[in-house]
Chain A
Amino acid sequence: MSEEKEPVEVLRTPVELDYTYSAGVSASRFLRAVEQGKLLGQRCPVDGRVYFPSRGSCPQHGVPIEGEPVELSDRGTIVTFSVNRVPSENIDLELPYAAIQVLLDGADTTLFHVLGECSIDDVRMGMRVEAVWRPRDEWTISMQNIRYFKPSGEPDAPFESYQEHI
């Protein structure tokens, strides 16, 4: 007698796809700089706004961004955030964590990162933060070189100073 078994309803069949990614001139320059602990942005020639990172063209004006890179501070302002309590296979962070959008000083675009050394009850829009870098011997060509941002202790930025970036 065979024992009753649950029918197979779903079969997981993982596939892998490895590929070599060619970053191009602008993104390569940005990534090489990150490898050295520097944050490089670039100006749109039409409105002068600083894109970080620059991907070689302006998504708004459709023109090449070819000028000299602009080195940015590793301090900035949290323009908005969410506290994430949902696990995801691709994200290696302990739950809950604050996913923040940071406007770096000198940049005109925001980046996503994570907040550290701060209770999730204290995170707020306008909070000033600074980067905490991994030890130098762990640096690679990745924004992961910044482990997280932490509160810098400066007074909060006024809403008007960053509201156009939300």
Chain B
Amino acid sequence: MAELCGIVGIGQTKHDSKRIDVSMAGLLREAAERALEDAELTWRDIDAVVIGKAPDLFEGVMMPELFLADALGGAYKPMLRVHTAGSVGGSTGIVAASLIQAGIHDRVLVAAFEKQSESNAMWALSIPMPFSVAVVAGAGGFFAPLVRGYMRRSGAPEDTGIRVAVKDRENALKNPYAHLHMEDISFDLVASSPMLWDPIRYLETCPSSDGACAMVLSSESLAAKAPTRPAWVHSTAMRSEPTMFSGRDQVMPQGILDNAEALYKKAGITNPRKEIDCAEMYVPFSWFEPMWCEGMLFAEPNEGWKMTYEGATAMDGDLPINMSGGVLSSNPIGASGLLRFAEAALQVRGQAGDHQVEGAKKALGHAYGGGSQYFSTWIVGSEKP
């Protein structure tokens, strides 16, 4: 029987387009110190450190975990680096939890970051290769054709994505850590923003952010001493598949469907839409909200857009999604998955402030990455599983 894993400390930075006041180390340190403070622990109390970020090519610093070890109190302690592209924040959380669940460590610090202002993600994602012609400009260039595929398959109204973008930016206004605080956000503002990668508009796209997130995970016996009620990990799942193979469903990859099934089975959940109180999902382009509502089995195939359209995913809907403002409001890529996981934990601890879903007991954190090929998810609860 696996050990239980409790989340006893949560911290994040103020996310912004340029955090010139801190280095990469300072950015991580800011999040990690807040997590320790929340847990009322010190660096000495940590047994091991797990760190994640997007591919090294982004900032051009190879294996940054080596020079960041000191800033994370990692000297003479086991330290692990996790790599799963954009989903890495989620996978990093799962690796950290597994160290507790396996009984290897009692307290693990998990941290993830990106400093996009020192990086060129657009360039790093558009490397020319002789086998193909360079036409795919950044992540939007890759995902826009898939969004078009979803629109064609589902017949969703064309303004579905605009509605998601408005909702997430409205939620972000309640989150002091969010990068974008757009007081003037409105349907018309999003609708009239320029098409970047048609059918994706500028305001249906995530920003480029500097930011970090950290959590302290603890074994059951030590979590009992925590000053604030822990969030308990009920279930985790990770799945991946190749970016390209013949007949691959790029819009709704088998990987996310398998991930959802495994996650709910472990958590004993049979009706996710009913049993989960709120969800933070990785939605870097607005249309991925309805797509992942289907992927995570909250909606029937081709019907995820109805949840958005009917307001089910709004703060006052039956399944609020992206209460923090989501990736559409803050995107420090490597940290983005861990931020989703952390928001789920904040919700079940009742710590989400103005974006708290009243009485949230079970919450989902979700991340995806690469060419829609890496998926990592967890369910956390206010009660022990």
Contact = CB atoms under 8 A, between A and B. Distances in A.
B247 A114 contact: no
B149 interface: yes
Contacts of B243: 59
B207 to A, nearest CB: 14
Interface in B14-58: 18, 20
Contacts of A80: 145-146, 148-149, 152
Contacts, number: 140
A96 B194 CA distance: 12
Nearest to A115: B135
Given A88-B123, A164-B247, A82 B194 contact: no
Contact of A90 (B126, B194, B244, B246): B126
B137 interface: yes
B251 A166 contact: yes
Contacts of B126: 88-91
Nearest to A60: B245
Interface residues of A, number: 56
A53 B127 CA distance: 18
B331 to A, nearest CB: 16
B129 to A, nearest CB: 9
B131 A114 contact: no
Interface residues on B, range: 35 or more
Interface string B172-199: 0000000000000000000000111111
Q: Which secondary structure dominates chain B's binding surface?
A: loop
Interface in B107-123: 117-118, 120, 122-123
A88 B137 contact: yes
Contacts of B251: 166
A142 interface: yes
Given A113-B133, A163-B153, A82 B250 contact: no
Interface of B: 18, 20, 60, 117-118, 120, 122-123, 126-128, 130-138, 140-141, 144-146, 148-149, 152-153, 194-200, 242-251
Interface of A: 9-10, 15, 21, 23, 27, 30-31, 44, 47, 49-51, 53, 55, 58-60, 79-93, 96-97, 99-101, 108-109, 111-114, 120, 125, 141-144, 146, 159, 163-166
